[in-house]
Amino acid sequence: MMNVSKNKCVGCGICESDCPVGSIYVDVEKGIAVFDRDKCIDCMLCIQNCPQAAIRDIVEELAIAIGTDDEKIIKPDDHIGMSKYFQVWKYSNGKLNFKETRENVKYTEDETRIHGDPKKAEAMASVLKDIDVLVGKIMGPNIERLKNKFVAVIIREPKIEKSLKIIRENINEIVEEKEKTERKGLILQ
């Protein structure tokens, strides 16, 4: 699915003028290019000609876990490893769908709160073995152990519902980071 990065698109209109079917246009109010997905014929001219590399064709599915204690807000007062639960969401075809809530077993087994404890990182990773993206307000020192297993995403918006919108709006950057061999944490707003 074609997606325009709001962080890279400068609204130059090259994609709009190159599109043979008029499926992309610059929304002057938003300041970025927008797709009419019903018209798009996947010719990829917009991707090839975008001087900002702001357009991607995202075909893969992503599993995203959000650290929470109450399933409504992102863990507010500690790093993600101390979350009671992880809400798991699936990104596919431009949509995020809720899949399940997983209990963070390390949280219930050991509340010693040793920061940077490799066993804590290992336990959390075992709960999230099929996850691509890990979302929290604070990652903590285990980010060094986790950032190449997951795309580590920091979102400081507390409400999960609003955070999902931020994830959708920044999916290009998340996929781009996932493709790297040496990852860094992403801070999304």
User: Which pLDDT does position 113 carry in this prediction?
Assistant: 53
The verdict on pTM exceeding 0.75 is: yes
Contact 136, 79 (CB under 8 A): yes
The confidence band for 109, taking pLDDT boundaries of 50, 70 and 90, is very low
What does the buried/exposed string (b/e) look like for 66-93 if buried means 16 or more CB atoms within 10 Å of the residue's CB? Answer: bbbbeeebbbeebbbbbbebbbbbebee
Instruction: Please write the tens of the pLDDT for every residue from 49-73.
Output: 999 999 999 999 999 999 999 999 9
Q: How many whole angstroms separate alpha carbon 78 and alpha carbon 87? A: 17
Please give the mean pLDDT across all residues of the chain: 91
Looking only at the bridges linking them, the beta strands covering 55-57 and 2-4 are antiparallel
Instruction: Please write the tens of the pLDDT for every residue from 18-44.
Output: 999 999 999 999 999 999 989 999 999
The mean-pLDDT minimum among 15-29, 106-120, 144-158 falls in 106-120
User: Which pLDDT does position 31 carry in this prediction?
Assistant: 94
